[in-house]
Structure 1
Amino acid sequence: MADTDEPSWLDQDAGPVVRAFAVTRGRARPIAGSFDLMAHVVAVNPGSARPAHLQPEHHAILALVMEPASVAKIASELDLALGVIRVLLGDLMQEGLIAMYDPPGGAEALADDVLQAVLHGLRDL
């Protein structure tokens, strides 16, 4: 054992650990919006001034969504839990700083004949 005052379970490379409830101020659901995992988010008026009360995580999201990004990508890039990202995105949506839209394509773009072919293929397995 090393003779240090630090707890032995603390990893020096871990950095500061902030609990999810501290980032979301105890909220588990977004104030505004319902954010699907594959929904795309984009900054609105990216050159405008941002409110001073935003947290660093809000600013990180705004920097990331200068170009459209999915909710899943935002969570992955910022290494935050999906629930935390949804709450923070709700804050930004309420402030009018982001917009959300469904990704182009998706299930609606698939023709019935393609879905039927997939179904027949699965049955043949």
Structure 2
Amino acid sequence: MRGSTDHPDSALRSYVITRGRTRPTRNTMGLDTLLVATEPAPPLPPSATREQHALLRMCSRLLSLVESAAHLELPVSLVKVLVSDLVDSGHLTARSGVPRAVRPDSQLLQEVLDGLRRLH
């Protein structure tokens, strides 16, 4: 995977892709935030970057923020800026991961696993 420092122009490229912004408009997105294109998606403006077009294509199916960054070979921080713009414009829907309160207890999971192992 290509990192953000592999090429001397990578900082400039990142600056151009995000139009000079370094922070997303939304600070609620984590690595596990799930992204999906809205249906029907409004057309992207002519000023949309090729990365935004690629994000919309990738998010025709559910995809996490970190997966989308990996596919684009861009830093997660940069992709957060792009994603927040697409969410703000109604092109993407962001869903947060499963809240900790809803997740099963790790002890319960271990007991289930132990029980399954005893069946063999």
Q: State if a TM-score over 0.5 links the two structures.
A: yes
Structure index of larger Rg: 1
Q: What is the Cα deviation at residue 104 of structure 1?
A: 5.0
Verify the 8 A CA contact 2:41 2:91 in the aligned structure 1: no
Q: Structure 1, unaligned stretches of length 5 or more? A: 1-13, 118-125
Give, in whole Å, the separation in 1 of the partners of 2:101 and 2:110: 13
Which amino acid is the alignment partner of residue 37 of structure 1?
Answer: L
1:25–1:96 distance in 2 versus 1, CA, 3 Å: same
Which amino acid is the alignment partner of residue 89 of structure 1?
Answer: V
Verify the 8 A CA contact 1:40 1:100 in the aligned structure 2: yes
Which amino acid is the alignment partner of residue 111 of structure 1?
Answer: D
Q: Please name the residue that 1:35 is paired with.
A: 29
1:57–1:112 distance in 2 versus 1, CA, 3 Å: closer
1:49 aligns with 2:43: yes
Percent same amino acid among aligned pairs?
A: 27
| Number of residue pairs aligned between Structure 1 and Structure 2 | 103
What TM-score does the superposition give when structure 2 sets the normalisation length? 0.71
Q: Structure 2, unaligned stretches of length 5 or more? A: 1-6, 112-120
Q: Please name the residue that 2:117 is paired with.
A: none
Which amino acid is the alignment partner of residue 90 of structure 1?
Answer: S
